Amino acid sequence: MRNLSCTVLTCTLLTGMAAMPSTTLAQPSDIQFPDNIPRFIGSPPSLDSLQTTNSDAYSRYAKYYLTLTHPDTAEIPLQRVTIQQRGGTEWINLQEEETTAFVGTRRNQGEIIPIAEVHQNRDNQTLEVIFARPISPGTTVSIKLHPLHNPRWSGAYTFGITVFPAGEQAQGLYLGSRRLHFYERFRRF
């Protein structure tokens, strides 16, 4: 059984299919998809963190920061992010008009990234952020969210994050979920 197997390197060398270095790199506009639906290929964006500045239940002073890294090895720019609340005892109302984005992280903020549109769908508890211009590979981007207030009830609140590349009818990529935990400092009777 062992004699019949061959490593990828051995098979490649025997068949003459060794990779030759390319003199040109594909630019995002050069990539053609068979079904004309843009999607992330190569290295997709990654979900770094979701943080709050205040974890007190019902606080009106909290801000939430979602940080993503769009690696420089990616081949398609990032255009849109959706944030869907998937768990928690109540829905957190995010203020669309207060949503901002910037290059960097919560503690290391860079230039402001213009946002074209922010939509909130209360039926499926989703907030969609569309950037005014696509985010180039090699960029760490943070989205600052302003809740009307933290949830009234303590507990873990889960959010699912999906990213979309630039282009019409782009296919989203679900990056995973993160939780925010809220705690009651004191109980009102």
Indicate whether 165 belongs to any domain: yes
Determine contact, residues 77/156, Cβ cutoff 8 Å. no
Task: Identify the band that residue 36 occupies on the pLDDT scale cut at 50, 70 and 90.
Answer: confident
Indicate whether 81 belongs to any domain: yes
- The pLDDT of residue 31 is 54
- The pLDDT of residue 7 is 36
In what helix (H) or strand (E) does residue 13 lie, and over which residues does it extend? helix 8-15
Give, as one character, the DSSP assignment of residue 22.
Answer: P
Indicate whether 168 belongs to any domain: yes
User: Residue 78 burial by CB count (10 A; 0-12/13-18/19+): exposed, middle or buried?
Assistant: buried
Over the stretch 132-162, which tens digit does the pLDDT of each residue have? Answer: 999 999 999 999 999 999 999 999 999 999 9
Indicate whether 66 belongs to any domain: yes
Domain CATH number, residue 76: 2.60.40.10
Query: Is residue 6 predicted with pLDDT exceeding 60?
Result: no
Query: Is residue 77 predicted with pLDDT exceeding 90?
Result: yes
Indicate whether 11 belongs to any domain: no
Indicate whether 12 belongs to any domain: no
Domains contained in the chain, number: 1
Domain that holds residue 63: 38-182
Determine contact, residues 67/141, Cβ cutoff 8 Å. yes
| Of 135, 178, 137, 173, the residue nearest 156 (C-alpha) | 178
Indicate whether 71 belongs to any domain: yes
Query: Is residue 171 predicted with pLDDT exceeding 90?
Result: yes
